[in-house]
Homo-oligomer: A and B are copies of this chain.
């Protein structure tokens, strides 16, 4: 792709540091592995940057499309109602246009992580770690 793509990793937020640490850590890993992507974070509650601040953080990067990826395991009220409302995206179209630096930028909204082999693999790895430290 010749156009520049942004990824906005969306977190739930928490009064504890762990949720932000995980979402930020995941965003850093994506940015490290996919160096042509511009990666930012945004949180729904209790942490900053907020989701709107996260979108603003793409200013000056030249992205023409941003994909907002909920770093949530499953759909629920947050992914189906709260986040689309914050981002101004209808759940059906999963897409809108925002203005950044005076230009139109396409904003897409992806599915959450879901029941994927990669989650199963990671859960099994955590089980093995607990067994081996026993």
Q: Which residues of A does B touch, CB under 8 Å?
A: 5, 7, 9, 14, 16, 18-19, 21-26, 28-30, 33-34, 65, 67, 69, 71-77, 80, 94-95, 106, 108-127, 129-131, 134
Contact A76–B126 (Cβ < 8 Å): no
Contact B123–A22 (Cβ < 8 Å): no
For the complex, give the distance between the alpha carbons of A120 and B7 in Å. 12
Contact B113–A67 (Cβ < 8 Å): no
Cβ distance A103 to chain B, nearest Cβ, rounded Å: 17
Check A19/B127 contact, CB under 8 A, given A113-B119, A122-B119.
Answer: no
For the complex, give the distance between the alpha carbons of A87 and B130 in Å. 16
Check A120/B33 contact, CB under 8 A, given A26-B115, A131-B5.
Answer: yes
Collect the chain B residues with CB atoms within 8 Å of residue A95's CB.
Answer: 134
Collect the chain B residues with CB atoms within 8 Å of residue A75's CB.
Answer: 16, 18
For the complex, give the distance between the alpha carbons of A95 and B22 in Å. 24
Q: A7: which of B14, B29, B127 is its contact (CB, 8 Å)?
A: B127
Contact A119–B118 (Cβ < 8 Å): yes
